[in-house]
Structure 1
């Protein structure tokens, strides 16, 4: 059935209960967009025409009931071989579950529940509907504490052909009235007997009659007395125990005359003056109980007055009186005295009745006052002053009246009634609060839809967003009011906190950091580090070359993986070479500022630094060369380009790098560009050949294998002056 649609409008959602005759499902009314309960007749009864006819008729009768304590019947129908009843869906528990969880209940709670059940029965009985199956399973308690009685009239649908199949009779045997157990037609007082058992069970946590079989339980209803409730639970007031005694009399004539009478008793039983009232006693033995009658002996039969002589004709001869004995004197008859007493009693009774009726006929008339708008106490005082009394007080919410204010009276103002008459009142109470539903895990739109269905105004619903590590983005994290708390949908403001998902973090720049520092930063942000290695000319060994896939400043979800590439240092084919550069001041013994810029495998235009000199000397420049990258060294003196030297990878690897020497003129070049050219100096127009007399100082300071220096562009190449300066190695 789940997932099916019946009647063209009821979408079955889930099964919520069932009994011997029917299964109950929670459904969505697609037309009115509300939840309903759908009771579906079990398949084994769909071919019993008499059962179906009575089932439908009784369901339609129950639909005529309209009372706040009765589950409303919305629809009755059939679809194929599916016979169903659509009724009000009550979100809460049934009374049987509550009794199992926490019986015995508090006295005031049990009395309140019983009073609401009794009020529902009073309404049903006035509409000529007998429930016949009052038990905790058929009493629903909503989240707001309101009692709802269900399954009105359904028990009457049980026929002789199905009574043993359904199991409903056996299932309810603990709540049978004695007349029900005997098969006698059950009436209004049978419902009151069952209600007395429900009250007994709520207050004691146990059933009054238990047995090994349904038959034994039914016999106990007929024959045995139950254990007094106060012996089981001493906290029960005597006034409440008296209600149980009276409602559970085996003789229907000794029970309450109506549900209204029992309701009045329930509404007043907890008043201080009634709690300690005397225990209710019944003078005569209940005529429904089983009696043990002793067998009648023949001697006793012979002594019965007025027995005819033929009754003794069969008696044996030995039983005849002896003629020899003298006759016994006859005792005077008491009959005249008995008859006189009876006549006197009748006269007294008739006289008393005459006096009573006369006094009743002479009761003065009183006009009913207007009680609307008065408090309950004020109305009681006003009625008392006129010789009237408050009857049944019904409490119900009315938005137009403050709590404890009368807004309805059973007799209109100005109606003439006899002095001492009872006036029923309906008094307003505080607005019943709803229970806030649990919205966690829903989207904002879903939560708003459910709140609007509950009666909350759309404008009273607000929301904010927060990051959450545990709740999916877009779902409700928390709510105010909290789930399960009491609130008024008409006036409450509901605030929802919606998840923005996990909070994003900004990716830091990790390039150039060592592994420990990089990992520490990632751990602080909740990120996971993945490492790889790669050689590099530009990044020191053990430092981060690259981060992937997130660049610095990008937003990253916590827990994401970040791959870091760490440098393993220079590649294996790289060559480290310390190059000696000869420098000299512009004028001897005068200071000149020397600046060196070099390019190698690590990058172009790298600053070596500056140095002030006043004598000729050789400065060492550490170079790194690669198969695809030679090196150049540019020397600036006093801000002007002085000379440029080239160092090839092959020469450095083979140890054949030429020894650099100062130019012959040792004069600075004209260029003042602070950035060295990428060429080897061919465009400067200056000769870079060595100068006589400088060979010794140049080679001694370098300490490296040197070869001839390339030409700067004059065409002289490595020949120097007349080719005298050859490469030397020390």
Structure 2
């Protein structure tokens, strides 16, 4: 965007809300303006994408992604992003306006910082990066230009324009590296990939620069600097500026290891190590070091770093220009401290410390507002003299249901007494499909739901004619329905098939129905007067009882009435209740027991034997007729 076009925006009102008042800076991607939010009557910063880039869909998506990534962060050391809007050809971000200077401005003014002052500055920087890393974001462009210090000494990290979700931090275009060359980690140069440890590398380089006044790798071209990042290690700062303590050397060399696995795992761990080193240095360390150096001149600032977009596939392998004598002399010169520089740094640190001690007062939105229960947040703000408005709840994957997902103004922002703070509560995590667990064992179903991030609700049982016992019948909500993982999913488990009610049904039909269910059926016959013949008069188990395939069940069927005929033959009932004809009973008295048994069984009778001896002494019945299949009793004797 040229100057004429840029100036045309001054005085305009974008999106009917943001009046552009003046231009702050212009960069490779966008121009930044000071503007007034007419609706809330506050000063904001507006970052307007260059119109020449608006036709690049990938870049527009990356620019809008900046808003989403930065807006998701709520931390007092992160420049807040309030909004992302489009007004005609202008795509822009609305951000917190930080009135002050950059860390680059400080370095320009003082040359370099004392070790303790540098570690003091690094702590809020790493706190901001740590918040991003916990949210799964990578800054990708950590450098002094993106560290702001406001008039109260508060440190804020800006320009998450190159941030990416860590899981998707690949090349934005095939073979293209994005970032400032002086701070690029080797893996960014070689493959274009970046993760949280790439930010740690850049922070290590920045710490080197703060205490030495220069970058560790210098060359005539950006390409040569990138080559050095891949093929040369970052030296200990004390090799450039004598007097740097070993603890600072260790911080730099660990953070800038070529092997990412040997660096601190993220900015949070690096912050802990920096804080430990800071606490190990005496409070007057920098003053005594300056006095020992015996200098009074203000140091010249280091040259600004190269900034470029490189093609990772074209990096040569034989581009390592030797350091010149002038380079070495400049490195040695940075060993002197300036009393004026110390004074400036002390003022900055003192201002930051004062802000830090007073930031808990309620002229700021509380820093921990995000994640607080809505009622607790409302009470805290009202107790601080602020009005509260509650917006419609939104889904959030980082804040639990019922807690504050975001605030406007954001956490840590300055607010006047009586100003309105809008709280947006979380509806829970973003809805997703409930998995299908029907037919699975209960433990496996629970594990599947947990793996998908769902909260387990109640487990109940119900009978089922189709789902085996102890298997899942279904869920509530049902499989395939979209539901927030914070909403519990209830599971219904089969207690087995339900024993049907068979009383009064035909015996054969009842037995066949039970066998079709995979049950082992026992049918008993019993005569009960007044009940229909051949119908079920009892069952075990009872109706509604849960049963499973292979279970044994019993039904009792009523026998038929016996039939008596007045003809030459009499008819009785067999064991199954069917009619049968009576037959003569032969007299076996006096015969051998075995012979008598055989003769009676051949005639169609059943035989029982009692007593002792080898011959039949008594028989019951001994004569007459009896139904075929009835029992004849033989009594033995000597």
Provide the TM-score with structure 2 as the length reference. 0.42
Bigger Rg, which one: 1
Q: Which has the higher contact order (CA 8 A, sep 6+)?
A: 2
Provide the TM-score with structure 1 as the length reference. 0.37
